[in-house]
Amino acid sequence: MTTAVAFRKVSRHYGPVRAVDAVDLDVAEGEFFAMLGPSGSGKTTCLRLIAGFEKPTSGQIEIFGQPSADVPPYRRPVNTVFQDYALFPHLNVRDNVAYGLMIAGMARTERHRKAEEALELVALPGYADRKPSALSGGQRQRVALARALVNQPKVLLLDEPLGALDLKLREAMQVELKSLQRQLGITFVFVTHDQGEALSMADRVAVFNDGRIQQVGTPQDIYDRPRTPFVADFVGSSNVLEPAMVQRLTGRAVHASLRPEAVRLQNEGLAARVTGQSFLGAVTRLTLDVDGQSLSMMLGKGHSIPRTGDLVHIGWDDDALHLMDPSDG
């Protein structure tokens, strides 16, 4: 499989701040790759490094095998969907979408035809004559997508493109983006701080924290086998058990993750004190205290819900407890 984007020990420092710190990464061609992390974790800087808006302080980025150090953004085979969409306010939708083709020297009628096609692809036909200011957030997002895709980039970079949309629209766009990517076969590199979004859309996910990659893997890997407490905590709101408690349970003093839905109420087992409940619809989340370790669990319908302060007994299947070995980290 061809590598679309490769990071080789890439760092980007701003004075003493290490925005990106010695990152190694391979994105395969045709892959839907998500960069996930909290704000300030370096994921957006990585995206800007690929686009060429930032230069690495050290290390090298290759795009389809080509070292990109001296290649300006306008010569890279990548296009970006910006977080604020960055549509040109003085051009109508058609000219916005056709902008890249116009720069490439394509004749007017030809590029307008292509722009109309791209607008159809993003389900926005008939809007070509409007100004961006006359569009809703979701429509602007589609125009930004069409404007990037019409150039047939080898890699499409998306910087939190769904961040400004409301929940319903965001969920619909997730599905659409995913099927669009399948249909076009273009490599997508997608930056987000929303773990649900990353896990549901991506083929592979890189979890960033403090300028470093914590873990790269498929959504299942990341969710079921988090490699660091940070990943376990950030992805899927897992319980992270402290080494002291894990030692009592298994004899090994390492962090471990335990998904809330794997925890059961039992007649006997580990004693826990209920410290709170929150009703989530289909399930109720209980927060528990086990010798100072806080833990949450999901309780399905049909169970009687214990009250705060009640003493309960809990347990889980042996393979539900995932030990995080610091040596793989």
Partner 1 sequence: MAEAALHTAPTLAGRASDLLWRRQGLLILLLILPPALWLGIIYLGSLFALLAQSFFSIDEFSGLINYEFTLSTYAELFRPSNLDIIIRTVVMASAVTIAAAIIGFPVAYYAARYARGRWKALFYLGVMLPLWSSYLVKVYSWKLILAKEGIVSWLFETLGLTWLLEAYLSLPILGGNSLSVSWTGTFLVFLYVWIPFMILPIQAALERVPVSMLEASGDLGANPGQTFRHVLLPLALPGVVAGSIFTFSLTLGDYIIPQIVGTSARMIGQAVYQFQGTAGNIPLAAAFAVVPILIMGVYLYVARRMGAFNAL
Site for partner 1, rule CB under 8 A: 51-53, 72-75, 78-80, 82-84, 86-90, 99-100, 102-104, 147-148, 151
Shortest distance (Å) from residue 268 CB to partner 1: 59
Cβ nearer to partner 1, comparing 146 with 213: 146
Q: Is 99 left (phi over 0), alpha (psi -120 to 50) or beta?
A: alpha
CB nearer partner 1, residue 52 or residue 226: 52
Nearer to partner 1, 103 or 280 (CB): 103
In angstroms, give the least distance from the CB of 33 to partner 1: 18
Nearer to partner 1, 99 or 127 (CB): 99
CB of 88 or CB of 279, closer to partner 1: 88
Q: What's the token pair of residue 249?
A: 């349970």
Mention every residue, 6+ apart, whose C-beta is less than 8 A from residue 85: 132, 140, 141, 143, 144
Q: What are phi and psi of 13, to 5 degrees?
A: -110, 140
Nearer to partner 1, 47 or 205 (CB): 47
Q: At its nearest, how many Å lie between partner 1 and the CB of residue 89?
A: 6
Task: Check if the beta carbon of residue 310 is closer than 8 Å to that of residue 271.
Answer: no
Q: Are 204 and 34 in contact (CB under 8 A)?
A: yes
Minimum Å gap between C-beta 95 and partner 1 is 10
Q: How far is the CB of 43 from partner 1 (least distance, A)?
A: 17
Pairing of β 255-258 and β 322-324 = antiparallel
> How many Cβ atoms sit within 10 Å of the Cβ of residue 12?
22
Q: Which amino acid is at 329?
A: G
Strands 264-266 and 270-279, sheet pairing: unpaired
Minimum CB separation from partner 1 for residue 125, in Å? 21
DSSP state letters, 26-52: EEETT-EEEEE--TTSSHHHHHHHHHT
